[in-house]
Amino acid sequence: MTYSQGRTARVAVIGFGYWGPNWANTIAGYPEADLCLIVERDSHRRALAEKQYPSAKVTSAIELAAFRDIDLAIVATPPAAHGECLLALSETPCRRVIIEKPVGIGYPETVTLLNLASQAGIALMVDYTFLETPAFDVLSREVENLGEIEFVNGARHNLGIFRPDTSVLWDLTVHDLSIVDALFQLRNDLEISCSAVRALRSTHPSVATIQIRGADFPFVSIATSWVSPAKIRSMSFHARAGMALWDDLSVNEPVRVFAAESSSSQDALLDYRLAEVRSPLVSGSSALTRKLRLALSDDHDQISRQDAIRSTHIAAFLDAAERSCREEGRYCKPEYKDTHKESRWD
Q: At what angle do helices 134-146 and 174-184 cross, to 10 degrees?
A: 50
Q: Cβ distance 31 to 292 under 8 Å?
A: no
Which tens digits make up the pLDDT trace of 216-229? 999 999 999 999 99
CATH number at residue 21: 3.40.50.720
Q: In which order are the strands placed within the sheet that holds 33-39?
A: 57-59, 33-39, 9-14, 72-75, 96-100, 123-127
pLDDT at 258: 93
* 225, 107: one domain: no
* 210, 292: one domain: no
**Res. 272: pLDDT tops 60:** no
pLDDT at 160: 77
Rg (CA), the chain: 21
pLDDT at 346: 45
* 44, 167: one domain: no
How, if at all, do strands 227-239 and 242-247 pair?
antiparallel
How much is the average pLDDT of 102-106?
A: 95
How much is the average pLDDT of 192-203?
A: 89
Which tens digits make up the pLDDT trace of 277-336? 999 999 988 999 999 999 999 999 999 999 999 999 999 999 999 999 999 999 999 987
Q: Backbone phi, then psi, for 259, in 5-degree steps?
A: -75, 145
- Looking at the DSSP assignment, which residues form a beta bridge with residue 235? 154, 246
Within 10 A of 116 (CB to CB), how many other CB atoms are there? 17
Q: What percent of the chain has pLDDT over 70?
A: 91
CATH number at residue 225: 3.30.360.10
Alpha helices in the chain (DSSP H): 20-28, 43-52, 82-89, 107-119, 134-146, 168, 174-184, 287-295, 300-326
* 175, 322: one domain: yes
Do the domain assignments include residue 88? yes
pLDDT at 279: 94
* 60, 191: one domain: no
Confidence tier at 344 by pLDDT (50, 70, 90): very low
How much is the average pLDDT of 256-281?
A: 70
* 262, 294: one domain: no
Buried b (16+ CB within 10 A) or exposed e, 127-165: bbbbbbbbbbbbbbebbeebeebeebbbbbbbeeebbee
* Domain that residue 117 falls in: 9-129+288-301
- Looking at the DSSP assignment, which residues form a beta bridge with residue 208? 196, 224
pLDDT at 7: 82
Do the domain assignments include residue 307? no
CA distance 76 to 40: 10
* 187, 80: one domain: no
* 276, 167: one domain: yes
pLDDT at 269: 55
Do the domain assignments include residue 335? no
How, if at all, do strands 123-127 and 149-159 pair?
unpaired
Q: Cβ distance 333 to 189 under 8 Å?
A: yes
Do the domain assignments include residue 340? no
* 94, 157: one domain: no
* 75, 195: one domain: no
How much is the average pLDDT of 114-131?
A: 97
CA distance 314 to 284: 27
* 32, 145: one domain: no
Do the domain assignments include residue 311? no
Do the domain assignments include residue 154? yes
CA distance 309 to 326: 26
User: Lowest-confidence range among 80-84, 200-204, 313-317?
Assistant: 200-204
* 146, 270: one domain: yes
How much is the average pLDDT of 139-157?
A: 97
Opening angle at CA 203, ends 126 and 209, nearest 5: 65
Do the domain assignments include residue 4? no
Which tens digits make up the pLDDT trace of 246-259? 999 999 999 999 98
Confidence tier at 200 by pLDDT (50, 70, 90): confident
| Domain tally, the chain | 2
